Amino acid sequence: MVETGKINLNSIQKIFPPRSENASEVEAVHQVSATIKPGEFIALIGPSGCGKSTLLRMIAGLELPTTGGILLDDEIVTAPSRERGFVFQEANLYPWLTVEDNVAFGLKINNKVKNKKAEIQQFIELVGLKGFEKSYPYELSGGMQQRVSLARTLINYPKVLLLDEPFGALDAFTRMRIHDELIKIWQERKLTTVMVTHDVEEAVYLADRVFAMTPRPAILKEIIDIDLPHNRHRESSEFIALKTKVLKALNFQD
């Protein structure tokens, strides 16, 4: 079986030009190199404004590196593609469309919606929204909206799932439930996943490896292996030890 979804980051640097005449340029990402294996779950963690989202956006092809290159399965990333599904912090649903029409929207652009009813239903069920097909976004909680956004991305069968703090606005209980759903989907679909988060516990709960970034410019300071099987127990001594390790890498704990 050919495994797909390998990402190579080769000395990635991103410098944004000055925003105004008196401003200076901003180096957001500095010389990041790493290989992400097919099917791996990576959490990118670092202080606010360090450059995590910029790195994720470059993997998506939404930004181009100033120097260095990103390869997906040995092809250089130069533009966004459905191969690399992106879920934003906000669900960004179309308020005038129902859940099923929001999920179908990406397919409609492709003119592929014919005979896709069953598939749309399958993805709605995959994210746990059976029974809400005809609901509008305003009738859903924040967590449910984010699940619609996930279904809308997954229905295009991306090789890579890129998540930019998608659960940041959710309450703690909803987050924990959605974490378990995400792990189930990730295990079923064997998707290479890269997630930006501020939350050390979220990173240790979900990821195979945590990439700890420095304050801006983001440099890959340390990679922490999370060598725990799922379902992980947040209260276990191994889990707490790994959280401490990540916090140390981020310089928040001696």
Which one of 53, 98, 102, 145 is in contact with ligand ATP (CB under 6 A)?
53
x/- map, 180-219, ligand ATP, by CB under 6 A: ------------------x-----------------x---
Phi and psi, residue 154, nearest 5°? -70, -25
Using alpha carbons, select from 87, 86, 68 the residue that is nearest to residue 77: 68
Count the neighbouring beta carbons within 10 Å of the beta carbon of residue 219: 16
If the CB atoms of residues 48 and 111 are measured against ligand ATP, the closer one turns out to be: 48
If the CB atoms of residues 37 and 198 are measured against ligand ATP, the closer one turns out to be: 198
If the CB atoms of residues 49 and 131 are measured against ligand ATP, the closer one turns out to be: 49
Interface with ligand ATP includes 50 (CB under 6 A)? yes
Contact 100, 133 (CB under 8 A): yes
Using alpha carbons, select from 165, 162, 206 the residue that is nearest to residue 187: 206
Count the neighbouring beta carbons within 10 Å of the beta carbon of residue 143: 19
CB of 49 to ligand ATP, least distance (A): 4
Residue 168 per-residue DSSP state: T
Counting residues that bind ligand ATP (by CB under 6 A) gives: 14
Site for ligand ATP, rule CB under 6 A:
16, 19, 26, 28, 46, 48-54, 198, 216
